[in-house]
Chains A and B, each alone.
Chain A
Amino acid sequence: AQTVTQSQPEMSVQEAETVTLSCTYDTSESDYYLFWYKQPPSRQMILVIRQEAYKQQNATENRFSVNFQKAAKSFSLKISDSQLGDAAMYFCAYRSSFYQGAQKLVFGQGTRLTINP
């Protein structure tokens, strides 16, 4: 079974600075997808960024980028120019590319990010 580990329960960063959230995972599969989700306080969870394991190029979405290290099974999220609206719980998630239950997501424990003004 796949597992996802986020070892940083809480992180904080000064507004406009850069912060990196860590995620490691364990799988025996060679093809899969990885995601970062954001859950703002009292608001719905939304997808931030996705990465396909067969793609070597790291995904980027505006101020959000990932550092995907397949051999190390590491998938960190970098947030540049942090803004107050980035304050949220961030979840790393894994999904197999094969049918093992209709796109089941396996989530990490979450990292609570605080932005200091």
Chain B
Amino acid sequence: DVKVTQSSRYLVKRTGEKVFLECVQDMDHENMFWYRQDPGLGLRLIYFSYDVKMKEKGDIPEGYSVSREKKERFSLILESASTNQTSMYLCASSLEGQGFRGPEDEQYFGPGTRLTVT
């Protein structure tokens, strides 16, 4: 079974702190994603990566950065946390790189990190 793990289930940080959210997948997947989940808005893509050291902005990248130094690990960084970044953050991964885009290549999700910024 594919396993996607996230470093924390719950996190409380103060405004202005630098925050790291870590995601690890154990199935040698090429793609990794960071989403933000808010009530009434569904999931919105922040950043994704299709290879080590490669990244692309999603729909709401402002205030976030990412790092992918190893294939299995994808980090989301809040450079200076703000209260409007209080949310549930979901990491996901999928198998294939840019060359394959079939529907069978589903995204597998982690359990989520509920971040509160006070």
Residues of A within 8 A of B (CB): 4, 6, 9, 33, 35, 37, 43-47, 50-52, 91, 95, 97-99, 101-105, 107-110
Given known A46-B109, A99-B101, A104-B48, contact A109–B94 (CB-CB < 8 A):
no
Q: How far is the CA of A107 from the CA of B35 in the complex (A)?
A: 10
Question: Which of B18-26, B38-46, B67-75, B77-85 touches A?
Answer: B38-46
Whether A102 lies near B103 (C-beta < 8 A) is no
Contact of A97 with B42 at beta-carbon distance under 8 Å, contacts A102-B31, A103-B107 already known: no
- A43→B111 contact, CB < 8 A: yes
Contact A109 B40 (CB under 8 A): yes
CB nearest neighbor in A for B95: A103
Interface size on B, residues (CB 8 A): 29
Give B residues with C-beta under 8 Å from A.
4, 31, 33, 35, 40-45, 48, 50, 56, 58, 90, 92, 94, 96-98, 101, 103, 105-107, 109-112
Q: Which residue of A lies closest to B50 (CB)?
A: A102
Q: Are B90 and A98 in contact (CB under 8 A)?
A: no
B54 nearest CB across to chain A (Å)? 9
How distant is A9 from chain B, measured CB to nearest CB, in Å?
7
- Are B94 and A103 in touch, CB under 8 angstroms? yes
Q: Give Cα distance in the complex from A43 to B88, angstroms.
A: 13
Report A-chain residues with C-beta under 8 Å of the C-beta of B109.
Answer: 37, 44-46
